[in-house]
Structure 1
């Protein structure tokens, strides 16, 4: 009889799939490992939130842990997981050395979510009003930490093909340490569009995104200041509804019904909202990873307009399900065209289905991920032996992080 394999996920936050794409991604990973017979424990030092999922419902054990506390050492030693998945590099920095010390045989997997160094470097270039260059990454402080974390792990899950190429070409990371895993969804057929609200039954432009995420807040400001005035001028009856979890006072102050600009706050059911909207607007100016909101739009049969950063690595150069436009005046013009032209709108829907079926099929990735995990479980020794840079970093980071953490723990006492 096969022994049950144990997976420990250490979360940056508790999963909130209705609040962010990151929460949805985490639930996908949980279901993949669950379906493949893993017993899962999800641990986090984050505060519980009103919107987190009930992990118990998904057959996952929930464990509250503390930062800089040797209580984690006792917990992880007793659990003795076969695989440990770190949710973002900051979590690997915090807990990775403890896992290595107490469970040296456990396979260490990093889910990067997106490359934080790419997002940070782009944001910096944007704020300094200059064009982002790939070389910017080499001097980015976050890059040094993030790349070190990737090297210390046995494998890192990378959500974007563009980020895969950055890691291989700019940072010269061995392909054996990387696994491309985009968002995963079920196949769609053109007939599925008949189940969705028709062109005539839909109304309004919509934007949706978690406001704790800086690129989303910037996008809404950009919409309000640079794009919406042009749309409203040429299409006076236009309405834009902006949804998102955790809106700050600054966000709420943009609510201007007289101008057709509505801040709606948290979406109870994002799917329902996007399904009934006519067009998704997402003029994203900086960021990284894949945009869950744009994939969701395709699944809901809702055409979208975004920028080259928004669409990056999302569509395998197939026709977009709407338009990709970086110029604000053109963006506004194309938004009106997509909203009013039924034939163009319907063709954009079909483009979305083609992208979903070409780029995001579960069946294309599930088996490979589980097969990789199993092969690492069988022979991690050889894999690690050939990751000399990772071993080197593990050796030095172990000492520095360990002593810093032990100092904080002693200070807290």
Structure 2
């Protein structure tokens, strides 16, 4: 039986983050193909993490900068190793290559960190949403690290077609190293019926507060957008859900203004499909937005910005409206909330997007065809990627020596403390 090793940056939390939901989707894809899966992470476990054991996934705690990982992976001998984000590949890539060189090395990018950080800095500098990014912002040290990690791997999973284009055209990454694998939903989830308009009420906003774009969106919603909505629709109510709610977010709770900070939602789909309109005023970010994909699945039209809508609809009509100014977002939101015909059209658009673009069966088939192809010609595939081989030679040597130095330093510190 084929063996997959996932090295997680964190333990997945599918009910708290889009990244966690995406990781669980990947795990289910391999499970459906009969693979044995081991999920290993150096992160601390927590109460919100998914119960991976219930999915027949073996969980292993590993240690950074320790040769104990070498023994673990050499004994496991996985067919495929999936690195959860580029920082994990930086830490463990050289160890995987040393201990099981014939394992297919796959990077799950989640989204391009370098693009998200460049947009965040551009917004801070200009106050504009989605401005043209200068080379000095895009060609950052973070971009060098992230693209280098992509080049060192045999394949990288990219969630957005916009990011695929950025990598191939701007950073000159060969398409043979990339695989489009967006947020996905099972056919069963797509086929479920959702509550009609008359059984819904109010607005919703949702997102993990540890993700900077989400906190910025909630703050902008409260300060600039919600007052406009209340002017147009007195008595309007908005419920904001999100994991890891900080005190600064709780302080925004104001029932008199119809602005309710609700905290973590144990079932995001239930609360999403109880609302008429989803508000996602994101001013920076990257990748695909899980809150928008979930809203489409739940039949809830969305109002978002050009950043939020990026990569979601492709050539299809968006499931709601897009605006980058507070009054535009507010007026579109109220129109969707009140106009039954406009709401129904937006809902149908969302269902169409989910069926045509986020069907798990379609993307799983493409992914495993690619994996099978690469496993059959892995040596030739790597010979075509000289830049990746060069980066592995130099970066892994420096990372290896640094890691080994840290391990010796930690061992000496333990010995001194024992004495």
Aligned partner of 1:140 in structure 2 is 140
Q: How do 1:240-259 and structure 2 match up within 5 A?
A: 240-259=238-257
Aligned partner of 1:266 in structure 2 is 264
- Secondary structure in structure 1 of the residue aligned to 2:367: helix
Write the distance in 2 (CA, Å) between the matches of 1:89 and 1:189: 30
Contact residue 196 and residue 300 of structure 1 kept, 8 A: yes
Q: How do 1:296-307 and structure 2 match up within 5 A?
A: 296-307=294-305
Aligned partner of 1:309 in structure 2 is 307
Write the distance in 1 (CA, Å) between the matches of 2:296 and 2:122: 30
- Secondary structure in structure 2 of the residue aligned to 1:200: helix
The Cα shift of 1:46 comes to: 0.6
Write the distance in 2 (CA, Å) between the matches of 1:396 and 1:97: 11
Contact residue 207 and residue 281 of structure 1 kept, 8 A: yes
Q: How do 1:135-174 and structure 2 match up within 5 A?
A: 135-174=135-174
Corresponding position: 1:365 with 2:376 = no
Write the distance in 2 (CA, Å) between the matches of 1:163 and 1:306: 19
Match of 1:38 among 35, 45, 53: 35
Contact residue 114 and residue 138 of structure 2 kept, 8 A: no
Aligned partner of 2:54 in structure 1 is 57
Contact residue 93 and residue 149 of structure 1 kept, 8 A: yes
The Cα shift of 1:198 comes to: 1.7
The one-character-per-residue Cα deviations of 1:319-351 (angstroms, maximum 9, x if unpaired) are 211101111111111111110111111111111
Corresponding position: 1:122 with 2:119 = yes
The Cα shift of 1:187 comes to: 4.8
The one-character-per-residue Cα deviations of 1:80-110 (angstroms, maximum 9, x if unpaired) are 1111000000000000011011111111000
How many aligned residue pairs are there? 408
Contact residue 281 and residue 304 of structure 1 kept, 8 A: yes
- Secondary structure in structure 2 of the residue aligned to 1:128: helix
Match of 1:11 among 8, 13, 24: 8
Write the distance in 2 (CA, Å) between the matches of 1:392 and 1:383: 15
Corresponding position: 1:77 with 2:74 = yes
Structure 1: runs of 5 or more not aligned: none
The Cα shift of 1:354 comes to: 1.3
Match of 1:391 among 389, 392, 397: 389
Contact residue 39 and residue 57 of structure 2 kept, 8 A: yes
Aligned partner of 1:410 in structure 2 is 408
Bigger Cα displacement from structure 2, 158-167 vs 348-357: 348-357
- 1:392–1:120: structure 2 CA closer, same or farther, 3 Å change rule? same
Contact residue 137 and residue 143 of structure 1 kept, 8 A: no
- Secondary structure in structure 1 of the residue aligned to 2:198: coil
Write the distance in 2 (CA, Å) between the matches of 1:253 and 1:393: 48
The Cα shift of 1:151 comes to: 0.2
The one-character-per-residue Cα deviations of 1:59-80 (angstroms, maximum 9, x if unpaired) are 1110000111111111111111
Contact residue 104 and residue 375 of structure 2 kept, 8 A: yes
Contact residue 15 and residue 27 of structure 1 kept, 8 A: yes
Aligned partner of 2:237 in structure 1 is 239
- 1:186–1:5: structure 2 CA closer, same or farther, 3 Å change rule? closer
Aligned partner of 2:417 in structure 1 is none
Aligned partner of 1:110 in structure 2 is 107
The one-character-per-residue Cα deviations of 1:390-410 (angstroms, maximum 9, x if unpaired) are 000000011110111111111
Contact residue 187 and residue 356 of structure 1 kept, 8 A: no
Aligned partner of 1:206 in structure 2 is 204
Contact residue 22 and residue 183 of structure 2 kept, 8 A: yes
Contact residue 118 and residue 138 of structure 2 kept, 8 A: no
Aligned partner of 1:326 in structure 2 is 324
Corresponding position: 1:86 with 2:83 = yes
The Cα shift of 1:139 comes to: 2.7
Write the distance in 2 (CA, Å) between the matches of 1:136 and 1:355: 35
Aligned partner of 2:416 in structure 1 is none
The Cα shift of 1:318 comes to: 1.6
The one-character-per-residue Cα deviations of 1:193-242 (angstroms, maximum 9, x if unpaired) are 8x322211111100010111000000001101110011112211101100
